[in-house]
Structure 1
Amino acid sequence: MALPRRLLHEVTRAKCSWAGSLADPNLWDRLHAQALPGSPPNFDWFFGYEEVQGLLLPLLQKGVPQGPAAPPLRVLDVGCGTSDLCPGLYTKCPLPLNVLGVDFSPVAVSRMKYLLEGHGDYPGLHPRHPASCLRFLQADARNLGALCPSGSFQLVLDKGTWDAVARGGQAGAQQMLSECLRVLAPQGTLVQFSDEDPDVRLPCLEQGAGSRSVTAHELGPFRGISYFAYLVQAAQ
């Protein structure tokens, strides 16, 4: 699989060493460790939360449990890195959310916990809805294990993680897809964000989606690049 053009541009812009695979956590540790004092706290592949909140909010509204005692909607971001996606959901979404960001880079997880709790130049993050919560944990999206029970998330997000994992082979990418679908609630939605063309991505997703439907929605252009949101949902 060819490296998506925007991911190649972003890694090059970040001056990341190519001594290793994009599926190697050591490479991402080095990348996330490059953040300098005074630099933006979040580094986003492709785009940030603001650009996709119009897509995500209707999906969230559809999945919110009903009733005054209903728990917050559970959201999982696999390969969250230091993206603004989880913080954006937590601080800007008006719905009650239980957001979990996982990444196999301990450096990325440590930086996001630092940002969440507030240290130094960062005052900490505060929820838009009082019932919302946000956590970051170290985990490999290809094997979420007991950390993420089956059927426990109404929304699973993947922004560029498939693109990176697939560089190590389609077997790893399909294993990650299987894990994402395992932890997805029966009526939940998996959203993959990528700049990869639907002619390439859709057959890969359809292969592993089983009875679920797979659709592609064009996004952008952002900074001159068009992207796609691939939605995997229960068949209507």
Structure 2
Amino acid sequence: MATWPKVLMGLRMAAALQGAMLEVARRSLSGSLAGRCLADLRLWDELHAQSRRGTDHTFDWFFGYDEVQGLLLPLLQKTPAAGPARVLDVGCGISGLCTGLYTKCPYPVDVLGVDFSPVAVAHMNSLLEGGTLCPGHPASRLHFVQADAQNLQPVATSSSFDLVLDKGTWDAVVRGGHPGAYRLLSECLRVLQPQGTLIQFSDEDPDVRIPGLEQGVPGRTVSVQELGPFRGISYFAYMVQGQLKD
């Protein structure tokens, strides 16, 4: 018999999928997500190629920067003033999270968005080259690079980011199996400063996500904050914060 946490997770995932499919229909995207593996690069190339034909420059499956700036700004404000806070968005897609940080954050940020889809990265770089994005702080920077979030060695050194963001990337990768999801988590923690913060944005129920996170992040603290509802769906920010001091 299924446990209630698993039932709730199934309901949330179904609601999220339905919401995503409604958005896809609204944007006149062809095809369906049903029966497709969300860890499949070909699926995301296809979806990103179709989404960017709309009138908006970016497309968010969950929500954008405006909905979570109240959570992010206090963390960025606390970053040591040695230089711009370094922020990594894994699986950035064509979301407005990176661009929102760059154009609206009043604090200096150096934002790197990585995605395994060349279609997504090319589109986001075209926005930068188009000169339509103006930094919210004169010292802020924004970059997009094609990379597999399960292996960030080519683009990111260890302990190099103050804040790592994962908006639905774990949710997609885990569809291909838990080993891939834990490789993603391991890489996020490797590139994170010892006292930095990893945030996973998801609709998955805390009773399911928190035990899995705690298993993969020994020596760090895990907390959760509810977000939304946005378009009728409640989300969660799972925060993994600094290594515990001796």
What is the deviation of 1:41?
A: 1.3
Q: Distance in 2 between matches of 1:222 and 1:10?
A: 10
Is the CA contact 1:23–1:168 (under 8 Å) kept in the aligned structure 2?
yes
In the other structure, the counterpart of 2:3 is none
Q: Distance in 2 between matches of 1:230 and 1:83?
A: 19
Deviations, residues 9-66 of structure 1 (Å, cap 9, x unaligned): 2442324544642111111000011136452111102111000000000111112x23
Is the CA contact 1:17–1:27 (under 8 Å) kept in the aligned structure 2?
no
Is the CA contact 1:75–1:154 (under 8 Å) kept in the aligned structure 2?
yes
Is the CA contact 1:95–1:129 (under 8 Å) kept in the aligned structure 2?
yes
2:178 pairs with one of 161, 167, 170: 170
3-state DSSP of counterpart to 1:102: strand
- Consecutive unaligned residues in structure 2, runs of 5 or more: 1-8
1:209–1:89 CA distance, 2 compared to 1 (3 A): same
2:216 pairs with one of 202, 208, 215: 208
What is the deviation of 1:116?
A: 1.8
Deviations, residues 159-213 of structure 1 (Å, cap 9, x unaligned): 0000000101111111100000000000100000001000000011001111000
Q: Distance in 2 between matches of 1:58 and 1:193?
A: 17
1:94 pairs with one of 103, 106, 118: 106
Tell me if 1:149 matches 2:163.
Answer: no
2:21 pairs with one of 3, 12, 30: 12
3-state DSSP of counterpart to 2:58: coil
The TM-score, its normalising length taken from structure 1, stands at: 0.91
In the other structure, the counterpart of 2:45 is 29
Q: Distance in 1 between matches of 2:149 and 2:16?
A: 19
- Consecutive unaligned residues in structure 1, runs of 5 or more: none
Is the CA contact 2:150–2:183 (under 8 Å) kept in the aligned structure 1?
yes
3-state DSSP of counterpart to 1:33: helix
- Cα RMSD of the aligned pairs, angstroms, is 1.7
Q: Distance in 2 between matches of 1:218 and 1:116?
A: 32
1:154–1:194 CA distance, 2 compared to 1 (3 A): same
In the other structure, the counterpart of 1:190 is 198
User: Once the two structures are aligned, what percentage of the paired residues are identical?
Assistant: 65
Deviations, residues 87-120 of structure 1 (Å, cap 9, x unaligned): 00000001111000000000000111111221xx
Tell me if 1:117 matches 2:129.
Answer: yes
In the other structure, the counterpart of 1:78 is 90
1:164–1:37 CA distance, 2 compared to 1 (3 A): closer
3-state DSSP of counterpart to 2:50: coil
2:136 pairs with one of 125, 128, 137: 128
What is the deviation of 1:223?
A: 1.6
Is the CA contact 1:6–1:195 (under 8 Å) kept in the aligned structure 2?
no
Deviations, residues 120-176 of structure 1 (Å, cap 9, x unaligned): xxx520101011000000001111113100000000000000000010111111110
Is the CA contact 1:22–1:167 (under 8 Å) kept in the aligned structure 2?
yes
Q: Distance in 2 between matches of 1:77 and 1:39?
A: 24
Q: Distance in 1 between matches of 2:52 and 2:158?
A: 38
